[in-house]
Amino acid sequence: MTPPSPSAPETTTGPRLVAARGDLSSAVERALRAGRPPAYTEASMRRADPWGEDLQLALYLLYELHYRGFEGVDDDREWDPDLLRLRRETEARFLHALHAALPGAPRTVEEAFAPLLVEQVDAAGSVSHYLETEGEPWQVREYAALRSLYHLKEADPHVWVIPRLTGRAKAAMAAVEYDEFGAGHPERIHARLFADLMTDLDLDPAYGHYLDHAPAPLLATVNLMSLFGLHRALRGALVGHFACVEVTSPPGSRRLASAMRRCGAGPAAERFYAEHVEADAVHEQVVRREVIGGLLADEPALEPDIAFGCAATVLLEDRLGAHFRAAWSAGHSALRSPLTPQPQPQPQPGS
């Protein structure tokens, strides 16, 4: 096995707060900066688009208090009752929008996962197919920058479900998470491997660095796992989300490893996805048979929740994929503000 590339030392400092995108995110931003309760109106809550930039950023900022927080924000704000009240209202709107967008959502695990076990024939909407076959280096960098908001906290929200499981499900989930966190080797933690990928792509690997660049469709994918993870009542949905990620990861990761190779991204960039091809193929079987199987044996009434978690994940990934493809097809950046150009290699004397 090729030894892992050296990584920059990690920091526990939270990211900086970013500029608001509307009334709700402004209320959260000002409250966190000033150490005061959030000031917002019922009218601004009613007006907020549950899929839009304002509500999704507000929710992301509120959820981030349960991860690493923000630079200059007191850790005690994590359990501030006024912020929790605002979070409850915004996530209720988000959850309602998810249910409304999935009126015919599957009710059984078999119905939810059967389509995911078949390789796509029509790859028109697949971002990984596009990057593998025709993506340009600047698009690979954009994809990695946006995905960093998930991958630099990879597996973190799924840990919250472990105390809520028992027996087979608990043991299997802990085993999969142990692998996600490097199996005792800090340099193999998947979030650390992604930071190495970012370094290969000349991106800033700092946690949360690209939050201000991230559009609402990306924020929604990260908010989904935080929503499911933070609520015991949604433990089934979190298991469904996690299983969906593990089932779809190996083929997508194989294509993305190929894309990294084709674009000359570097060994660490390719290694991250190559690692997921092998690891997640094993994880998929464990999650489907032991985590889902064990949970259904203990709590069969949660099957519709597991199916919903899977369907909601597919919905948001499809929305994000459509965002990438629409922007790139028009020759535009998929980010709210483009990345700085990647430095070009300088010609050597005499070349």
Q: Which residue has the higher pLDDT, 121 or 284?
A: 284
Percent of the chain with pLDDT over 70: 91
pLDDT of residue 4 exceeding 50 = no
Place 12 in a pLDDT band, splitting at 50, 70 and 90.
low
Domains and CATH numbers, the chain: 23-101 (no CATH), 109-329 (1.20.910.10)
pLDDT in the model for residue 268:
93
pLDDT of residue 253 exceeding 70 = yes
pLDDT of residue 347 exceeding 60 = no
Place 119 in a pLDDT band, splitting at 50, 70 and 90.
low
Point out the least confidently predicted range of 31-40, 120-129, 303-312, 329-338. Answer: 120-129
pLDDT of residue 49 exceeding 60 = yes
d(C-alpha 59, C-alpha 267), whole Å: 35
pLDDT in the model for residue 343:
55
pLDDT in the model for residue 118:
78
pLDDT tens readout for residues 77-98: 999 999 999 999 999 999 999 9
- What average pLDDT does the structure give for the chain? 91
Average pLDDT of span 98-102: 97
Average pLDDT of span 227-255: 95
Point out the least confidently predicted range of 2-11, 91-100, 213-222. Answer: 2-11
Place 5 in a pLDDT band, splitting at 50, 70 and 90.
very low
Place 148 in a pLDDT band, splitting at 50, 70 and 90.
very high
pLDDT in the model for residue 341:
72
d(C-alpha 244, C-alpha 37), whole Å: 37
Average pLDDT of span 8-13: 57
pLDDT of residue 246 exceeding 80 = yes
Q: What is the CA radius of gyration of the chain?
A: 20
pLDDT in the model for residue 296:
98
d(C-alpha 252, C-alpha 244), whole Å: 12
d(C-alpha 348, C-alpha 351), whole Å: 6
d(C-alpha 133, C-alpha 273), whole Å: 16
Average pLDDT of span 116-141: 84
Closest to 81 (Cα-Cα) out of 40, 38, 23, 24: 38
pTM, two decimals, is 0.92
* Helices 235-262 and 216-230, axial angle in degrees (round to 10): 140
pLDDT in the model for residue 1:
36
Place 30 in a pLDDT band, splitting at 50, 70 and 90.
very high
pLDDT in the model for residue 279:
73
Point out the least confidently predicted range of 31-35, 63-67, 104-108, 117-121. Answer: 117-121
C-alpha dist (Å) from residue 71 to 12, 14, 36, 214, 257: 10, 5, 16, 19, 34
Place 11 in a pLDDT band, splitting at 50, 70 and 90.
low
Q: Which class for 119: exposed (0-12), middle (13-18), buried (19 or more C-beta within 10 A)? A: exposed
What are the structure tokens assigned to 141, written together? 């960098």
Q: Which class for 4: exposed (0-12), middle (13-18), buried (19 or more C-beta within 10 A)? A: middle
